[in-house]
């Protein structure tokens, strides 16, 4: 389970057995699906994992803002990890977007 980002104490990570669409887990199991069309980010969908704790409202907004800004980088990390089998290093970002 590579943790790829830590932003304002919110962890963003992939599970090692992920599936498409490309997505990232945030904090307490909120998922952001990144929809790609013609190699561009077309849409970001947020969903909660049933039966799991979810982000508090303020953290949810911060996580959404983060994914909106870092979507292309998240996609690149997804491809690097799942396609190219490259180790992903954690990036800690403490400055608010």
One digit per residue, the tens of pLDDT, for the chain of length 97 reads: 799 999 999 999 998 888 889 999 998 789 999 999 999 999 999 988 777 777 889 999 999 999 999 999 999 999 999 999 999 999 999 999 9
Residue 48: the pLDDT is: 80
Residue 54: the pLDDT is: 76
Residue 51: the pLDDT is: 73
Residue 87: the pLDDT is: 94
Q: Which residue has the tokens 């669409």?
A: 21
Structure tokens at 27: 């904090």
Residues 6+ apart with CB under 8 A from 93: 5, 6, 7, 8, 66
Structure tokens at 92: 């800690």
Note the pTM of the prediction, 2 decimals.
0.92
Residue 43: the pLDDT is: 97
Structure tokens at 10: 């919110």
Q: Write down the domain spans for the chain.
A: 3-93
Residue 74: the pLDDT is: 97
Q: Where are the alpha helices (DSSP H) in the chain?
A: 57-82
Exposed / middle / buried, residue 32 (Cβ in 10 Å: 0-12, 13-18, 19+) = buried
| Nearest of 61, 65, 68 to residue 34 by alpha carbon | 68
């Amino acid at each position: 389970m590579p943790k790829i980002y830590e932003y304002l104490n919110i962890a963003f990570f992939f599970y090692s057995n992920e599936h498409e669409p490309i997505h990232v887990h945030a904090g307490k199991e909120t998922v952001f699906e990144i929809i790609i069309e013609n190699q561009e980010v077309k849409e970001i969908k947020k969903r909660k994992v049933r039966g799991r704790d979810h982000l508090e409202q303020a953290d949810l907004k911060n996580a959404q803002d983060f994914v909106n800004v870092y979507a292309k980088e998240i996609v690149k990390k997804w491809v690097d990890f799942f396609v190219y089998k490259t180790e992903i290093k954690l990036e800690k970002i403490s400055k608010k977007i």
